[in-house]
Chains A and B, each alone.
Chain A
Amino acid sequence: KAGVTQTPRYLIKTRGQQVTLSCSPISGHRSVSWYQQTPGQGLQFLFEYFSETQRNKGNFPGRFSGRQFSNSRSEMNVSTLELGDSALYLCASSSPEYTRQGGTIGYGYTFGSGTRLTVV
């Protein structure tokens, strides 16, 4: 089946602008999480959504936001872009059979190829 699809692959934006990135998870996966990858900070968690609800958020400013739609597709938005927001933004989906209930654990986070955002 199709993997995690992220669009667009590349973006160049100017400081102060805003940007919206899209992620389509693997069919049937209801959990979608977002990560920022930079050479200096590595992979850092942004937020996670399940059934249109944000369940967890990382330590990023409020300029970073996201949402999930009823078909599990997710978008993240960054407003008032700064040079430091230049990064690879990755989306991951995980299997609904292993949701975090009753001691069971999340399983098989599958990543997309990412969106490379450059802020100039």
Chain B
Amino acid sequence: GESVGLHLPTLSVQEGDNSIINCAYSNSASDYFIWYKQESGKGPQFIIDIRSNMDKRQGQRVTVLLNKTVKHLSLQIAATQPGDSAVYFCAENGAGSYQLTFGKGTKLSVIP
């Protein structure tokens, strides 16, 4: 069936380096994507979103890239900080759908 998946389950980066978290999706009808950060014991926290008519969107220290040709989504975090350590999920919202389909998550560990 249609799904959103992540390439890497864990990612360790040095503090100050840039992080890249990837996500593959299979539903070509997906038209809206969101990245979430989830810390232990908390609900997912909205980071940044992008629509299918966009290739790139930037926020504060974060950039989301969307490649519709290969159905790939990535989250770039600049100057990664210890507070960025968490599990990151991509989520897809398909056209005509009222639900989010989540990837399995990538655990980001920042080494001080």
Contact = CB atoms under 8 A, between A and B. Distances in A.
Contact of A105 (B42, B51, B91): B51
Nearest to B95: A105
Interface of A: 4, 6, 31, 33, 35, 42-45, 48, 50, 55-56, 58, 90, 92, 100, 105-114
A12 B34 CA distance: 32
B31 A45 contact: no
Contacts of B104: 42
Interface residue SS majority, chain A? strand
A117 B100 CA distance: 22
Interface of B: 31-32, 34, 36, 41-46, 49, 51, 89, 91, 93, 95-105
Contacts of A109: 34, 46, 91, 100
A46 B49 CA distance: 22
A42 B105 contact: yes
B99 A58 contact: yes
B100 A45 contact: yes
Contacts of A112: 43
